[in-house]
Amino acid sequence: MTVEPGRVYNVDCVKGLAEMPSGIVDLAFADPPFNIGYDYDVYDDRRAANEYLAWSRSWIEGVIRALKPNGTFWLAIGDEFAAELKVLCTRDLGLSCRSWVVWFYTFGVHCTQKFTRSHAHLFHFVRNPKNFTFNSLATRVPSARQLVYADKRADPDGRVPDDTWMVTPELPPNTPMWDGFVLRPQDIPDRFPPHSDTWFFSRVAGTFGERRGWHGCQMPEQLLGRIIRACSNEGDVVLDPFAGSGTTPAVAKKLRRQFVGFELSRAYAMRIEERLKNIKPGDALIGPENPALSAPATKVGHAAATRRRRAKPACVSPVVARANATLGQVAVANREYATAIAEAFIASHQGYSADRVVADPALNERFRENCERLSIPGAPADWNRLLFNLRKRGGLKAVDTSRRTRIPFDQMEPYVYASEIAWRLLQNADGSSLDEILCDPDRARQFDRVASRIAPGKPAFEYRWAALALRKEVAKGDGILEHVRYRLAQRAFSLDARRSFPAARAHYVISVGETRLYVGFTADLANCLFFEPSRIEVAAQQLDVKSFSAKDVRLNYQLFEPRNRQPTAFRAARRTRLVRGLGPIGNIEKPEQAA
């Protein structure tokens, strides 16, 4: 048997791992039997301790052999053997433990003679402690220097979070208590933030829509989503030696990773195959990314939540009242739900603007969950459009959105051209504005795919934010446009001559044969990433340039000497002049104003 990515094999994991080529897996996730007597389809979960540990060693050794030298291994395990397997992996098998995450869940099995278990252990191991994948920019939070001290030395990207969480020092009013303890984590804001090493995800209980009735032990999709996003990249190979209900390969496929899995039960393997047939790359994950934001607090209660879903959204705050008052021009059907849109935004935005909530996939997922919780009619694209309408008419002015997304425009230079080309292509296809593209999750994912092909390696949010920043940048130059002229270098340079360019700021034009491809700006003409032949070739292919040859690529430039006043506006105005004068096929001539 030859094991290749793209399938879940009906075979014992030890045998399957032995058949795998070594060093092909980027990320492995294993949720093995805990040896607690669970009734599986064909596996005996009642082994002697020494037998269980010997079996565990054999399959873990197979996982390590399959990992790349910079690969990552996550192990989910219960209390009974957590200590032994951590020692086995680190001291005996040479892995390095990056994090010991505690998964806190609700709907634990009720006990009468001990405290009800509501946690499992997630060990985050790597083969090489100096070389592994961890997408820290996707998890960073503002530092105390930024939020408290306004220290100019603060890293604008924030910092990687602590691995210790704390209870809020003061409980909210009317929080239900029992002998000094809070009944549910939802009653304490930010009790289990997603960046800490204690994770709050509900167990997939029998009444949940996510539940696969044919398998009793099922991981939530969002929990796997967090691990796969953090420890792998699109196109990487994700391995699950105990495929079970198929959640790992399902989430890997949705997040555009390759997958391979093993499942001992033939019945389970067949059902996993059926599950995977109904999934397309880019599909949304099931469940809330941060359950604490979407589950009602104890003081609300199930009955109150049910009444709220059946009733029209009520005016619950001055912000929501303002939302109602400022949507007079919106259609009646939409105005009726303005209060609920405002409430969903308040529960989701984390201090950011409406633009950030729509453009950031993580925040938009939270917004979507809250819209679903409030039973707002429509689909995610409708909710995003309503949010933009509400913002445009001043319905969110009372909301504190002072938390800034600090990515200076100059830092976007290595990929902003990819965002603009993706925007132009989608605009050409159906006339969509940028807001329309970002509001529609399917169109936004299409935008991400195009941008990532041209300038790979960035999270989806950064491509989207670069397009929004470009729109604002261009608008700055409109007021002085009539005073700006452009003069390009008379000589058109070949790609071979690009290293001789001066290390200076400049506007540039890329042409392929007779076709003007793109007008851009760079802070370092000699080292502009877009001048790499491979990137220009991909951009030309996306823009449907026929018969591409690097020999046909020509570069013209104009050094940038900004005026003493309004240098940013002057830069933007000159760019607009070049775009209008040359008509490149990859630029947006005049971006529309924000909705």
Q: Tens digit of pLDDT for each residue in 555-574?
A: 999 888 766 566 888 888 88
pLDDT at 155: 72
Q: pLDDT tens-digit profile of 168-185?
A: 334 455 544 433 334 445
160 lies in some domain: no
**Beta strand pairing call for 258-262 and 515-522:** unpaired
pLDDT at 168: 38
Q: Is 60 exceeded by the pLDDT of residue 326?
A: no
> Mean pLDDT of all residues in the chain?
79
**Same-domain status, 445 and 553:** yes
Considering 21-30, 329-338, 550-559, the range whose residues carry the highest mean pLDDT is 21-30
**Same-domain status, 479 and 374:** no
> Considering only 39-48, 161-170, 239-248, which range has the smallest mean pLDDT?
161-170
Q: What is the DSSP string of 53-85?
A: HHHHHHHHHHHHHHEEEEEEEEEEE-HHHHHHH
pLDDT at 567: 80
The residue length of the chain stands at 595
181 lies in some domain: no
pLDDT at 152: 63
Last residue of a domain, one of 357, 392, 427: 392
Handedness of CA 348, 155, 448, 385 (dihedral sign): positive
Nearest to 258 by CA among 28, 10, 13, 1: 28
Higher pLDDT, 335 or 123: 123
| Local structure of 507: helix, strand or coil | strand
Q: Is 50 exceeded by the pLDDT of residue 478?
A: yes
49 lies in some domain: yes
User: What percent of the chain clears pLDDT 70, i.e. is strictly above it?
Assistant: 71
Report CA 301 to chain centroid distance, whole Å: 31
**Same-domain status, 452 and 519:** yes
Higher pLDDT, 374 or 354: 354
| Local structure of 333: helix, strand or coil | helix
Which residue segment(s) compose the domain that 372 sits in?
Answer: 293-392
595 lies in some domain: no
Nearest to 249 by CA among 219, 208, 214, 293: 219
| Burial readout 415-437 (b: 16 or more C-beta within 10 A, e: otherwise) | bbbbbbbbbbbbbeeeebbbbbb
Q: What is the DSSP string of 136-195?
A: GGGT-B--HIIIII--TTS-TT-BPPPS-----SSPPTT--EETTEES-GGGSTTSS-TT
pLDDT at 297: 47
Last residue of a domain, one of 242, 277, 312: 277
pLDDT at 547: 83
**Same-domain status, 327 and 259:** no
pLDDT at 353: 94
Residues 453-462, mean pLDDT to the nearest whole number: 93
**Beta strand pairing call for 506-512 and 553-559:** antiparallel
pLDDT at 429: 85
170 lies in some domain: no
**Same-domain status, 115 and 206:** yes
436 lies in some domain: yes
pLDDT at 193: 54
Higher pLDDT, 229 or 322: 229
Show Cβ contacts of residue 549 under 8 Å, excluding neighbours closer than 6 positions. Answer: none
Show Cβ contacts of residue 248 under 8 Å, excluding neighbours closer than 6 positions. Answer: 29, 219, 224, 238, 240, 259, 261
**Same-domain status, 386 and 460:** no
Q: pLDDT tens-digit profile of 523-562?
A: 999 999 999 999 999 999 999 998 888 899 999 998 887 6
554 lies in some domain: yes
**Same-domain status, 120 and 212:** yes
Show Cβ contacts of residue 379 under 8 Å, excluding neighbours closer than 6 positions. Answer: none
| Burial readout 124-156 (b: 16 or more C-beta within 10 A, e: otherwise) | bbbbeeeebbeeeeebeebbeebeeeeeeebee
Q: pLDDT tens-digit profile of 395-408?
A: 888 888 989 998 88
pLDDT at 165: 32
pLDDT at 394: 84
pLDDT at 29: 96
Residues 20-48, mean pLDDT to the nearest whole number: 85
CA 546 → CA 147, 169, 427, 538, distances in Å? 51, 64, 20, 12
Q: Is 60 exceeded by the pLDDT of residue 129?
A: yes
Show Cβ contacts of residue 394 under 8 Å, excluding neighbours closer than 6 positions. Answer: 322, 326
Round to whole Å and give the CA distance between 294 and 291.
5
pLDDT at 426: 92
End-to-end CA distance of the chain: 56
562 lies in some domain: yes
> Considering only 60-74, 196-210, 214-228, 565-579, which range has the smallest mean pLDDT?
196-210
**Same-domain status, 429 and 558:** yes
> Amino acid letter at 119?
H
**Same-domain status, 310 and 240:** no
Q: pLDDT tens-digit profile of 240-266?
A: 999 888 999 999 999 999 999 999 888
Residue 316 binned pLDDT confidence (cut-offs 50, 70, 90): very low
Could you tell me the two tokens for 113? Answer: 């003679």
pLDDT at 222: 79
**Beta strand pairing call for 237-240 and 25-30:** parallel
**Same-domain status, 272 and 375:** no
pLDDT at 134: 81
Last residue of a domain, one of 277, 303, 335: 277
**Same-domain status, 468 and 417:** yes
Considering 106-115, 119-128, 170-179, the range whose residues carry the highest mean pLDDT is 119-128
Q: Note the maximum CA span of the chain.
A: 86
Q: Is 282 exposed, middle or buried (0-12, 13-18, 19+ CB in 10 A)?
A: middle
Q: Is 51 exposed, middle or buried (0-12, 13-18, 19+ CB in 10 A)?
A: exposed
pLDDT at 210: 43
Q: pLDDT tens-digit profile of 289-302?
A: 544 444 444 444 33
Residue 368 binned pLDDT confidence (cut-offs 50, 70, 90): very high
pLDDT at 481: 67
**Same-domain status, 313 and 266:** no
Higher pLDDT, 45 or 359: 359
Report how many domains make up the chain. 3
User: What percent of the chain clears pLDDT 90, i.e. is strictly above it?
Assistant: 40
φ, ψ of residue 305 to 5 degrees: the values are -65, -40
Q: Is 60 exceeded by the pLDDT of residue 110?
A: no
pLDDT at 221: 84
Q: How many helices (H) and strands (E) does the chain have?
A: 21, 14
Residues 478-490, mean pLDDT to the nearest whole number: 69
CATH number for the domain that contains residue 229: 3.40.50.150
